[in-house]
Amino acid sequence: MFDRKVPLDDPPPSYDVSGGVAIPPPSEKTLVKPPPPKLPFPLDLPVLNYLRKNRVILASASPRRRQLLAQIGLTNLEIALSTVPEDLPKSLSPYEYVLKTATQKALNVYEATLDDTSKGDIAILIAADTVVVTPAGTILEKPRSEAQHVASLKELRDYGRHSVVTAVAVLAPLESARDPGYVLETHVEETVVYFDKDVTDDMILAYVKTREGVDKAGGYGIQGIGALLVEKVDGSFENVIGLPLRPTLKLLEKVRRKAEDENLEEDSDLED
């Protein structure tokens, strides 16, 4: 299950958890391929330069999170999925819910991959969890059926606004034997999304039929066709996609710095 490679352009899964039949893409003969875009130079930041040369694990199968990390130059990611059921009680506050879930993912994958050094030592492990929250406090995750999908989007439209809450957990193992053997830092980000109240039932049904939102919290993809449902966003746009980039970069820098300080302190103690 670990080190699973996740293509960036995977089609969304069907509602059938046993797996549906994916619609094949158009034949390459019918597509006119544009010239490849000219990519910008990578960000010349110490933490990113370090991580590009070392083992970075993303504890998520989300192709959107992988794409967002690729935007800041982290493209050589190892994908490892948590085996912990995501079944925390919805009675928790949204902040507690995503924070505990993201932390569980990080620790579970860390423990499962710690002894596998065939690819080198782990430099950084990144985990995240995203939910959509209605003004009534209801936590919406991925839709489990077409009927639920339609109902969720109608609910979001009728409320007019909702929150997208993402927790990010970043972990770095320590070289020393200090308990617990790692540095872990977390961040929770909230973005308010305003749906267009004039979106019709027919529009919602047409969107659901595209299946774009099947594998997304709340049932829509703001970076795709789902943008037609949204009037405006108050806060981080990337957070709605699944990973707030600026806080994530700050966590990477903070964890890397703390791990370096802990290791230097341990080396100093050994010398004494």
CATH number of the domain encompassing residue 106: 3.90.950.10
Judge whether 5 lies within some domain.
no
Predicted confidence band of residue 12 (pLDDT cuts 50, 70, 90): low
Residue 236 has pLDDT above 80, yes or no: yes
Predicted confidence band of residue 178 (pLDDT cuts 50, 70, 90): confident
Judge whether 200 lies within some domain.
yes
Judge whether 253 lies within some domain.
yes
Judge whether 25 lies within some domain.
no
Distance CA 214, CA 195 (A): 18
Q: Which domain holds residue 165?
A: 41-271
Distance CA 40, CA 59 (A): 27
Chain segment 42-79, per-residue pLDDT in tens: 899 999 999 999 999 999 999 999 999 999 999 999 99
- What pLDDT is attached to residue 25? 60
Higher pLDDT, 31 or 62: 62
The arithmetic mean of pLDDT across residues 82-86, rounded, is 90
Judge whether 185 lies within some domain.
yes
**Residue ranges of E strands in 215-271:** 230-234
Catalytic positions are 129
Q: Judge contact between 252 and 47, C-beta under 8 A.
A: yes
Chain segment 89-145, per-residue pLDDT in tens: 988 999 999 999 999 999 999 999 988 888 889 999 999 999 999 999 999 889 999
Number of domains in the chain: 1
SS3 at position 106: helix
Judge whether 32 lies within some domain.
no
Judge whether 74 lies within some domain.
yes
Judge whether 18 lies within some domain.
no
Distance CA 157, CA 159 (A): 6
